[in-house]
Every structure is written in structure tokens, then in C-alpha cells.
Amino acid sequence: MPLHLKLLKLLLIALALPTCVSADESYDDVRPLLERLCYDCHGPRQAKADLRLDRLNPDFLRGGDLDTWHDVLNQLNLGMMPPEDATQPTEAEATRLISWLTRSLRVAAEAKRNAGGRVTSRRLTRDEYAHTMRDLLGVDLDYGREMPPEPASPDGFLNDGATLELSPTQLETYLAVARRALSLAIVEGDRPQVFRHVGDRTAVGALPRSREGGAEPVNPEFLLDVPTFPREGEFEIRVRAGATIPAGAAPPQLRVSLGCVPGIVHVPRKVVGQVDVTATADSPQTFTFRGRMEDYPQSGDQKFGNVAFDGEIVILDFLDADGKELRHASRTYSDPPRGKGGKGKAAKNKPTPAAPILLPPLESPRLDVHVERVEFEAPVVTSWQPASHTSLLSFHGDIELDSDAASEQILRRFASRAFRRPASDDEVQRLVTLFRSLRAESDTAIVAYRETMAAILVSPHFLYLVPSDDLHSLASRMSYFLTSTMPSQRLTELANTGQLADAEVLKAEVQRMLDGPSSRSFVDRFADQWFDLDGLDRVAVNPEFYPDFDDDLKSAMREETRGVLREIIANNLSCLELIDADWTVVNRALANHYQLTHRPATSSFERVPLAPADRRGGILQHGSFLLSNSSGESSHPIKRAVWILDRLLATPPAPPPPDAPPLDAERADLRGLTLKQQLEAHRQREACNRCHRHVDPWGIPLEHFDAVGLYRETPPTRVGKARLKGRQRPAARVDAATELPSGEKLDGATELKRYILQHRREQFARSFVRRLATYALGRQLDFADEPVLQRLTQAFLEDNCRPRPLIADLVASELFTASRPTPPASPLEPQP
């Protein structure tokens, strides 16, 4: 029987639940059936996919295997088990198994929902912590720089409470970060010295050009020397510039970096910002770039006599719209001509302004950037004390800063904001007591306030999202789900007044938050983790096959996928447009890489229409998916297939056994075969065929797209000298025809997308709902969640898979609003 008919039959059996099955049938009644049908592969003799059914606890209420039993039911319902080459159940036997599992799981789910008890408290992620510290203290630092990365959950998410541990070392890091941030937010002493440097001509001096150790030499079009500067604090770089833009040309770009010259080997630097220069040279505009000194490379205190620049340097690069450097022979640049042997004789000379050069008249204008003035200022001090200081230490009344009345006001307000709920009188009194003891040992009240607030910032009430029965807990969960930071004043006020308990108010607030700029963090983090966009950084593109590939395209590919999901959620488009669409979001560089018909005129990302000749549309033709699921040299249909089954259809295949042989195109028996033929040969082994026959067909339709996401008709080959040394790929044309496990025959990505939309639409909708719920709840889902998930999925499908109503329904559902009180990891303890 074809697999799709078998699947339909089993689903009908599962839905019908015939009355011929005994209502009190037990595990002992069905165990002989499990032994005969399942134990050969999942029993004492072998445990494929690390699963032994004979060891699963049949007690669905008190045993620990409820989710595994649920997976068994899913495999039966999908027709994946037993495999086609194994003993098949009769219709009556399939009915007995599916009915027993369905009924038992329903009873267990209902009991579990009534009993509650699931722990949903979790630590803030690194991103959430950074956003919260910024909003709480009013100081924009790189708070996550010293924090270790979070491990991904089995679902690929970083906010799963089960994986977010807190070690003593991490706690010490939190305390150190809190103290440093508070020293910048609450200040003492006089206004700091401000350093200002201005230039209207580029400074000239030799710069290192070595490529040793992976160093990339700089080649700036304009350079500002910053000999004196502060070690920390906010800086501001202002560039007044315009451009000459010939008719029909796209505007040039200006890239600004800050770095230093610590020796003769390399120039460490970091990009501050990059903009399109659309103003003319006759009417220039001022661009402002900001950052913090401590986040950028700095020269040391020891000066080197053999370098031209002792302090910092502001580096300006002029680029065309495609990212290529703009350099003209008639212009003076910062790096002077070299002496004999390529050595820069000017290396020991101090930087000097460049002498103006009179350019001969040009018959036609050339694309160029004209810099009128560059200014550097640090630290940026608009007032003293800063706004953060005034905000954190404000109080009412004619009282002293270190009085009990003032400390009670200051610490109550700060603790309530940090804990994301009103601090109790007992908590405030303990904090005031801690402040008094610290004040007795400190030179000033400022020091005591900093240390008391640092204690608050390492409290579990701050570092953890702790569920409770009140609306403030709900407001916190909403805020971290949709904005990745602490609740806004508006959301807090709705919790204070009780209005957040109204379902209509709740849903309206969800829509308001989705419309706000902070929702970008939610969409980007969700896209990164659902689609595993970090995979782009795990693949090294082989330059022997793709010598022209620019690694900067990886970030553009990531932004394309993020941008498409942002567009869908912002405009409430159907999520089915993730599978296929006649538009995408690209910048000019990525559009050029794809060779699109319509291309943005600037470096900004824009929504552009797609033509049929572009062979694009939907995530399966995004570079982010195609490159991250490649080898960096060739396409990898197995990786792509696993990604589709896991991320889009929520049916991840079992991991390969430890002794599974790799697919090696250089093996003698595979050499000269197309990739599709190599896979067919790979499946000749029984151990490989059992899984690969269900996996490989999903990746083969994408064979027309190479490792860097470009459409091709033939496989790639090595280039240059490497071509002479390496074995060549076969010159045969790409074969993207396949037959899915259901028996459906497809040829190419377009037919694969059409098949998913026509035959796997409900499966994709269920996958989207489950991924969204997992991210929103910060935990893995279990069978007790199924009734709500099914209801949400059904409504999602009926609304043509539009995301905004789904997000509102999820937040208003009992999954999200129901609290299961869990005490914090430890009580608030004063920190020394």
C-alpha cells in the first residue's frame, strides 16, 4: 500500500476511535502486539535511535516517559513506523495500538493539567540581560561581552529554562558587570575632561600592510589622528560629507571605523557605522556615529617610536554601492608612497595634514565622496551629573541623600523596577539595612548605593523570570517574549491597575508591542533560533571553488531571512509566504550575488519584487538556508533535507548511528558520479537505506542551488592552481528530480515548495505554532500542552496562517497566562 494511503488510513483510525476497542484495555493487553511489531528494532537486541520500547514506563501518570509515548503515537499516525520492510500491523491491530495510546495520553494530559506543577522559571538570556541592564540603568554598554553563550535546547532555542544554569563563576561575573555599570551610571567627582580632535584633510602616515596571522591591512580614504583620548565613556564621531554621483549611478557609501596602530604588523579596528552618502558635495550633510571607548581597540600606554600614530585613529573608507573601494590616482591618501623595498620611510614621521591637490577638469563627473570635516569627541557629556545618575538617585522631600527616608525611596523604586513587580516592605527594609551597614564603611553615600544596587542586580528576583499568580509576572513574560527586555512603564501600569487581566486589553497590548521598535529583537532572535541562522558562521566557504565569495554576504543572508519574517509579522501576511513568495528583502550586495532582476539602489535592505527568472521566493531559496546546510564546497542534500523535516515540518529524523559512513565524493566507487548517484549508492547499504530513503528525497530538489546559494546547472569545480592539484567534479548536469516517501514525484525547488503548500500545509502550521510556543514559554512542550496547541493551530489555519492573531491568542491562552508558582533559586541575600 502506498505510504500516503497508509498514512490516511491510520489517521482515520486515530480520529474514529472505534467502539469495538475495549475502553479499559491496558498495557498488558497491547504489550504482545508491541513485542511482535516493534521490539526487533527497539527492544533487547537493538535500540535504533536510542529507543527501547520494552524499557518505557507504562505508567503514564507517574512515569517519566510520557513524551516518548507521545512520540511513538506521532510516528504511528504519520505512517513512519513500522517501516515498510518490517512486519505490518493489520487494520485491527493498528486500531488497538493507536486507540490505546491516544486514550491513555488524553487521560494523562488532563490529569497533568489539573495537577499543574510544571516549572517555568528561567534565567534571563545574555541578550535579555543586556537589554534589561540598559533600560534599567540608562547606560548603553556591551553587557553580554563577558557572559558565556547559552547552550541550545533540543528545539534549538536559547531561552529554555532547563538549559539556563547559573554557576558561581557566572554569579561573580554578574556582580562585576553590575559594579562596573553602576560606576558609570552613578558618578562622583568633577566633570571629566573632554577630548576633541578635528580634521578637514586626511592625516598622512605609514600604516602596517602585513597579512600575517590573518591580519587585513587597512587602506583608508581619509584618516583622523586622535593622539589623546579617554579610556572609557561614550564617544561621538561627526563626519560632514557629500558625494559626486554620476547620472544613473547609485550613491556611494561611507564606512567609519575606530582603531589604533600598536605596532608594525596590523591595525586592530572595529566598524562604528556605515551609511549611504546621498547629499551632493555642494550641499553636504553631517553624519553622526556613536559608541563607547571600552568597546573598541585602544593603543597601550607604551609608545612605539616606529609607528606614525600613537593614539587612536578614525578610519574612513569610501565604497561604491556594491561595496568596492573608491580610489582615484589623483587624490592624496593617508598612507604615503613606500621607500625602497616597499618599506615606508614615513613610518617614523608624525602625521601631517595632506597638501591640497588641484585636480584637472574632468570631462564627466566620477563617483566619489568628499569629506569636508571630521570631528571626534569623547567622552560625550551633555550634563553633569548624567541623566542616569539623576534618575537612579532621585527622591522627594527636604532630606539628605544618605538618610533612611531617602534610601527607602531610592531603593524601593530601584528594586521594584529590577524585580519587575512592587518590592515588598520586608525586601525594602532589608535593603535599607544593607545600605546603612555599607554606608558606615564607605567614604560616601554614592559608594553605598552602588553596592546595594549591585546586590539587587545579582538577586534571583532580577536574574530570573519567576512565575507567580499576579499580573506583574504576566507582564514580564509578555515583555521578554515580545521585546526581550523588562516591561515598559505602560505595561507595568496596566498590571498595577489590574487592566491586564482583561483579555481584550491583553490582546491589544500584544498588537501595540508588535508595532513598537523593540519587537525587532523578538523577531530576529526567533528567526535566528528557529532557522538556526548561526549555522552560517559554522560553514567555511572554500575559496578554491568560490574565489569571489565575500564573507560579508553571510550577514546579508542572515538579514534577508530576518527581514522576511519581520515583513510578514509587521504586515500580518500569511506565514505560508515563508515557503513561497514573489518578493524578498535584500540589499544591493546580496541582490547582485543572486543576480536579481530588481536591485536596491543603496546598501540598505529593501523589499523587492521577484521575477520568475530570479528563481527565488521563500526560505528554501534563501542563501542563509542553502549555505548553512552545505559543506562550503558543495551542496549537501542530506543536511538540507534534515533541516526541512526538522525546522519546517517538525518531524526530525533520528540521528545517524555512530558507525554511519560519511558521504565521500573522493572514494573510488563514488568518483565520477553525480551527487544524486552518490546518494543512491550510499543507500545500497542496508544500515544507511533504512533512514536515508525517508530523508534524501527532501534535499535533492534543491540541487540546482550550490553551496553559496547560487543557481547552477552543473556542479562547481576548483579554480586556478588548486584545479590542477585536485580531482574535478563530474561535468554532468545537475539532476534535481526525486520521489518523496509518499510516492510524489518532484523536480526542482518550485515543485517542492508547491508540494509543501498543497500537501504539508497543516504540518507546517503545526510546526510554526509549536516553535512559537516553545520560544514564548521558555521551555520544551509536553503532551499536556497538546489540546491548547491543537486549538491554536486550527485557528491559525483558518486565518490563512497569519501571525499576529496567533501571537495574541497564544499570549491570552492558558499556556501563557496560567502560572505555576515556583520559589526563586535562593532568597535575596545581601552581597558584600
Question: Which pLDDT score, from 0 to 100, does residue 671 have?
Answer: 54
Close Cβ partners of 109 (under 8 Å, ≥ 6 residues apart):
783, 784, 786, 787
Close Cβ partners of 53 (under 8 Å, ≥ 6 residues apart):
34, 38, 39, 42, 43, 72
Close Cβ partners of 463 (under 8 Å, ≥ 6 residues apart):
123, 124, 129, 166, 174
**CA dihedral sign of residues 645, 647, 649, 655:** positive
DSSP 752-782: HHHHHHHHSHHHHHHHHHHHHHHHHHTS---
Looking at this protein, which amino acid is placed at residue 527? A
Q: Give the number of C-alpha atoms closer than 13 A to the C-alpha of residue 255, restricted to the C-beta side.
A: 18
Q: Strands, DSSP E only, in 350-455? A: 352-353, 368-378
* Cell numbers representing residue 392 in the block: 537612579
784, 814 contact by CB (below 8 A): no
Give the three-class secondary structure for 368: strand
Question: Which pLDDT score, from 0 to 100, does residue 111 have?
Answer: 61
- Spatial separation of the C-alpha atoms in residues 478 and 466, rounded to whole Å: 13
For the chain, give percent helix, strand, coil, nearest 5.
Answer: 45, 10, 45
- Spatial separation of the C-alpha atoms in residues 487 and 480, rounded to whole Å: 8
Place of cell 560625550: 380
The packing angle between helices 519-530 and 126-137, to 10°, is: 170
Place of cell 539556563: 164
- Spatial separation of the C-alpha atoms in residues 501 and 809, rounded to whole Å: 14
For residue 708, give Cα distances in angstroms to 400, 475, 504, 757: 65, 43, 46, 25
Closest C-alpha to 376, from 233, 191, 219: 233
188, 444 contact by CB (below 8 A): yes
Residue 179 is inside which H or E element, if any?
helix 168-185
Closest C-alpha to 207, from 192, 229, 222, 196: 222
State how far Cα 314 lies from the chain centre.
30
Question: Which pLDDT score, from 0 to 100, does residue 670 have?
Answer: 53
Question: Which pLDDT score, from 0 to 100, does residue 327 have?
Answer: 78
Phi, psi of 273 (to 5 degrees): -175, 165
- Spatial separation of the C-alpha atoms in residues 382 and 568, rounded to whole Å: 40
Q: Strands, DSSP E only, in 209-281? A: 222-226, 234-244, 253-260, 269-276
- Cβ neighbour number for residue 16 with a 10 Å cutoff: 11
What does the pLDDT look like over 220-266, one tens digit per residue? 889 999 999 999 999 999 999 999 999 888 899 999 999 998 877 78
Close Cβ partners of 81 (under 8 Å, ≥ 6 residues apart):
38, 72, 75
Question: Which pLDDT score, from 0 to 100, does residue 631 have?
Answer: 93
| Low pLDDT (below 50) residues in the chain | 1-23, 114-117, 119, 339-349, 353-363, 721-727, 730, 819-832
Question: Which pLDDT score, from 0 to 100, does residue 215 have?
Answer: 63
